[in-house]
């Protein structure tokens, strides 16, 4: 009996470790796209020009003013965030999926998968929100440097210290509500779509349970997650970057003001860099994670 209870715990621990490793690989690979997306979404908060700026222009500007290292500003808190966020949501999704299954059903419906995906994402995001806040602040700092201003933080530890000192411990969870809303939508699209798409590809014999099925499923997962979550991502980024005198009273206020002053399309600002990041991120993560699970003798996701 003791052995039977130990085995699931050991399996869950292995899944957590492999999810963390896969997430670190995916985050490091795609981080330059993420910082480009964040800077693009913050454009309206700043200044002057009303002329549209493309993601390529933003990335080129970062390299020109900050060097290649500027594309990795805020990487360390992003990696730390994924050490908590990704294992909680992926392993949590599997646990909830297993709990929802009945003896007669071998698979859940898409709405059920979407619900447990969203719940898993919410739990993970609440835990990881402080690291996400530091990442956004440090990414925005690079834009200040490019404008000749003094950066607010010298590193992630300094950022944590200053945020707690000026905004209190609760300040680490600034923007947690739009963050949680985004996490629900992202994981509703990402986890549920990957799970459902992979099973569809395998059942229709388009591909067996291999890298081809994982690639197709990850592409569909990335696209659906981007479409669903981009408005919440814009709101989250703008609210988390605020300090001192606040421009927005709530996530709803931020949403209304963004649409009023910039139009409905502004809610999908950064859509292509977000998709360009989520697509490769999904591919690297899921292919790595599935491969690591295979090597470790664990069943497919």
Q: What's this model's pTM, rounded to 2 decimal places?
A: 0.74
Q: In this model, does residue 5 exceed pLDDT 50?
A: no
Please give the pLDDT value at position 147.
67
Going from N- to C-terminal start, the domains of the chain cover: 177-269
Please give the pLDDT value at position 287.
94
257 versus 8: the higher-pLDDT residue is 257
pLDDT band for position 16 (cuts 50, 70, 90): very high
pLDDT band for position 3 (cuts 50, 70, 90): very low
Please give the pLDDT value at position 270.
75
In angstroms, the CA 213 to CA 262 distance is 40
């Amino acid at each position: 009996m003791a052995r039977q209870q130990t085995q699931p715990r050991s399996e869950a621990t292995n899944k957590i470790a492999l999810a963390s490793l896969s997430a670190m690989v995916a985050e490091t690979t795609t981080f330059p796209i993420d910082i480009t997306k964040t800077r693009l979404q913050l454009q309206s908060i700043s200044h002057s020009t009303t002329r549209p700026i493309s993601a390529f222009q933003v990335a080129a500007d970062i390299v020109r003013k900050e060097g290649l290292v500027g594309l990795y500003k805020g990487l360390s808190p992003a990696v730390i965030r994924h050490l908590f966020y990704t294992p909680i949501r992926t392993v949590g999704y599997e646990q909830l999926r297993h709990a929802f299954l009945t003896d007669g059903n071998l698979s859940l419906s898409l709405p059920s998968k979407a619900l447990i995906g969203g719940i898993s994402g919410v739990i993970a995001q609440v835990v990881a929100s402080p690291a996400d806040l530091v990442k956004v602040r440090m990414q925005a700092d690079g834009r200040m440097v490019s404008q000749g201003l003094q950066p607010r933080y010298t590193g992630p530890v300094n950022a944590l210290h200053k945020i707690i000192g000026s905004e209190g411990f609760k300040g680490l969870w600034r923007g947690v509500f739009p963050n949680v809303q985004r996490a629900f939508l992202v994981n509703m699209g990402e986890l549920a779509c990957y799970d459902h798409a992979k099973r569809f590809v395998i059942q229709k014999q388009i591909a067996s349970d291999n890298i081809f099925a994982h690639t197709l499923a990850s592409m569909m997962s990335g696209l659906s997650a981007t479409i669903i979550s981009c408005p919440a991502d814009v709101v989250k980024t703008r609210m988390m970057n605020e300090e001192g005198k606040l421009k927005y009273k709530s996530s709803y206020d931020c949403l209304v003001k963004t649409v009023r002053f910039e139009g409905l399309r502004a809610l999908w600002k950064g859509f292509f860099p977000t998709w360009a990041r989520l697509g490769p991120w999904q591919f690297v993560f899921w292919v790595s994670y599935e491969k690591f699970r295979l090597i470790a003798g664990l069943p497919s996701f």
